[in-house]
Amino acid sequence: MRSSILAPAPPTVAIEIAARRVTVAAVSGSTGRAAVTAFATEPLPAEAVTPALTGTNIADVAGVAAALRRALDRAGLRSAHKAALVVPDTVARVSLLPFQQLPANASEVDQIVRWQVKKATPFPLEEAQVSHFEVHADGTARTLAAVVARRDVLAQYEAVASAVGIHAGLVDLASFNVMNALLSSGGDAGLGDALVLCLAAEATTLAILRGRDLMFYRHRGVVDEEPLSALVHQTTMYHEDRLGGERFSHVWLCGASFAGGAADARREIADRLGLSAETVDVRSAAAMRDRIDATPGTLDALAAPIGVLLRDRRAA
């Protein structure tokens, strides 16, 4: 999934800054022969990172940077000077935009996308970073995912990396790279429709993959007070009514060990869909060194950072 808010050359190290933790990871080799060579995660105080579309997300940059420095030291990555930076889904607004046809000129496509997202963006686009990528094509009809985030919000996350001497050469959302990890691990096997749930302390992201195509994307904050069962039900109805889907082939769950209520989440999914939720396990795409224990928390923490690194190895 070639998504990115900011993206120059492929990185070799990834950093994720989430609401209650920072994670660092590194991968060697290409997809199919990759290995996770370094990993560490450090907890953060509850209010250290408060993901939001606008305003202050990181009030104490030095404190979060200190946690990142500890993670880098533990992972043996203190000499890194460049990394991919994975940020919470909550910092951006994602829209899936269907078009019957699009101009061949890239600048014209950019203008069309900006015009489409302008109406739903609660701040001036002049203050935003806007990116887009194709997620589905059917003949001349194409669907683009448009991602809009305030530059000053992204700058807060980049400032944490800068404080430890690392340039964030690529900035992207967590859920997109959980899906990248899934697809790199063969999660599209059989080309069936799959439901992907990314749980975080502050929000839930739900997506529907049809093979490698992103057909549906929804992000809901916990302040909306909708239980997971209601979100899964609504998404399932959309899948059946709007996408002509039947039974999901897989349900993939990531982040439950950090968001809390993992057992409840799995039970709600099983009760509603009659399917067991499967863990997004990067080991199918990247072997892990013996010193890295594949606990549920480790697999949840690794999914997005390894996803962004494997994505760039496929695309490079």
Whole-model pTM: value is 0.93
In the chain, % of residues over pLDDT 90: 73
- 170 and 74 belong to one structural domain: yes
The domain tally of the chain equals 3
- 56 and 194 belong to one structural domain: no
- 192 and 274 belong to one structural domain: yes
| Amino acid 316: pLDDT | 44
Beta carbons of 42 and 73 less than 8 angstroms apart? no
| Amino acid 185: pLDDT | 78
User: Of 201, 275, 206, 266, which Cα lies nearest the Cα of 239?
Assistant: 206
pLDDT band at 311 (very low <50, low <70, confident <90, very high): confident
- 113 and 130 belong to one structural domain: yes
First to last CA, the chain: 13
- 135 and 154 belong to one structural domain: no
* Amino acid symbol at 94: V
Count Cβ neighbours within 10 Å for each residue of 123-148 and write b for 16 or more, e otherwise.
Answer: eeeeebbbbbebbbeeeeebbbbbbb
| Amino acid 214: pLDDT | 97
pLDDT band at 32 (very low <50, low <70, confident <90, very high): low
When mean pLDDT is compared across 48-62, 144-158, 280-294, the lowest value belongs to 280-294
When mean pLDDT is compared across 13-17, 44-48, 52-56, 156-160, the lowest value belongs to 44-48
Around Cβ 47, how many Cβ atoms within 10 Å?
A: 10
Return d(Cα 227, Cα 271) in angstroms, integer: 14
Span 204-224, mean pLDDT?
Answer: 93
- 18 and 139 belong to one structural domain: no
Report residue 238 as tokens: 């959309």
pLDDT band at 4 (very low <50, low <70, confident <90, very high): low
Domain around 211: 188-279
- 107 and 209 belong to one structural domain: no
- 200 and 81 belong to one structural domain: no
Residue 8 lies in a domain: no
The secondary structure of 124-158 as a DSSP string is -GGGEEEEEEEEEEETTEEEEEEEEEEHHHHHHHH
In the chain, % of residues over pLDDT 70: 91
- 55 and 104 belong to one structural domain: no
pLDDT band at 9 (very low <50, low <70, confident <90, very high): low
Tell me, what CATH number does 292's domain have? 3.30.420.40
- 215 and 296 belong to one structural domain: no
| Amino acid 29: pLDDT | 76
The string of pLDDT tens digits covering residues 179-189 is 999 998 775 55
pLDDT band at 284 (very low <50, low <70, confident <90, very high): confident
| Amino acid 288: pLDDT | 86
Around Cβ 17, how many Cβ atoms within 10 Å?
A: 29
* Amino acid symbol at 300: D
